[in-house]
Amino acid sequence: MNHSFVFAAMMAMGAAWPGTASAQEYPAKPVRVIVGFPAGGGSDLIARVFAQKLTGALGQTVVVENRPGASANIAAELAARSAPDGYTLLFANSTLSISPAVFRKLAYEPVRDFTPISMASSYPFVLAVHPSLPVRSVGELVALAKAKPGALDYASAGPATMSHLAMQMMRLKTGVELGHLSYKGAAPAVVSLMSGETQLAFLVMPVAHPQFKAGKLRGLGVAAKTRSAAAPEVPTMNEAGVEGHEAVQWNGFFAPARTPQAILDRLHREVAKTVAAPEVRQRIEAEGATPVGNTPSEFAAFFRAEAAKWADVARHSGTKLD
């Protein structure tokens, strides 16, 4: 067979090699961004900010589609099973790195089934205590908890949520014994802490910071590599003596695995431009988050490390969901 003739024929018919034509034409129709949380929540709000800017940048409507439920697994499975053509994207948060660690059965595997495009924003969790607790540092809290094993209760937003696993990580690293009161969401967990029903919790900084300023809660440690600009007086957990304790809530864009590289490159360029736009940065910061816009390789390395970290915490703490 004359391979040169076949190649020329393919080019003449516009076929080229698989994926080339579609990448060159992309996008030729609207793009949907699946979000695994209800409309109006933090992830949804940031996704909509990006969708509006990307609509103009891509020249096609970018539509946010909310598919809440099952700890965002419904949305992730739908996106994982979608055609890898750039027309279905997933806007996920930290839950995507936790789910494989805590669910006994998943119909998808995040590291295998998704290609990270870019992180949009992030914000750290911070260890907060009720002001009636006679501690002003993580060290003092650990000493008190060890002196009274099981006497202190912490609040979480539910089993296997980041607030739960962040405390499990601290427990594993310090050896403290704590009671766990699980609530249906972050809001009731915060209420329980502020009322004194529970004594400590890991909260996201945007929720915790106003309560620190009002004196209604006390911050002991930020679960991130660096201190938070919102509360620079609060040391990191690492500075406070709990080495390597990091729990960061993040949001980012993913595409189904095997999406053509040219499409991924285009999407990353536009997401990075969107993150850099002053009005977008202001909107993200207004939500109490930090704009990111990292490269696909940086985001992929971070995501793999997060998945491995939470798998380790879940395994050693025995945290599992059906």
In this structure, are 177 and 92 located in the same domain?
no
What sign does the CA torsion over 305, 102, 176, 155 have?
Answer: positive
Q: How far is CA 153 from CA 130, 180, 217, 233, in A?
A: 11, 6, 15, 25
In this structure, are 73 and 21 located in the same domain?
yes
Q: What is the pLDDT of residue 22?
A: 55
In this structure, are 116 and 146 located in the same domain?
no
Is 177 domain-assigned?
yes
Is 305 domain-assigned?
yes
Which residue reads 């806007």 in tokens? 91
Q: What is the pLDDT of residue 99?
A: 96
Where residue 275 sits, what CATH number does that domain have?
3.40.190.150
Q: What is the pLDDT of residue 230?
A: 87
Contact between 300 and 155 (Cβ < 8 Å):
no
Is the overall model pTM greater than 0.95, yes or no?
no
In this structure, are 145 and 198 located in the same domain?
yes
In this structure, are 128 and 218 located in the same domain?
yes
In this structure, are 54 and 198 located in the same domain?
no
Tell me the C-alpha distance between 93 and 73, whole Å: 11
In this structure, are 157 and 81 located in the same domain?
no
| Helices 95-102 + 296-317 axis angle, to 10 | 40
Query: Structural domain of residue 68, as residue ranges?
Result: 3-123+249-317
In this structure, are 295 and 257 located in the same domain?
yes
Name the DSSP class of 181. Answer: E
Quick: pLDDT tens for 43-92. Answer: 899 999 999 999 999 999 999 999 999 999 999 999 999 999 999 999 99
Quick: pLDDT tens for 159-189. Answer: 999 999 999 999 999 999 999 999 988 899 9
Is 227 domain-assigned?
no
Is 302 domain-assigned?
yes
Taking 50 as the pLDDT cut, the residues of the chain under it are 1-21
The torsion angles phi and psi of 84, rounded to 5 degrees, stand at: -80, 65
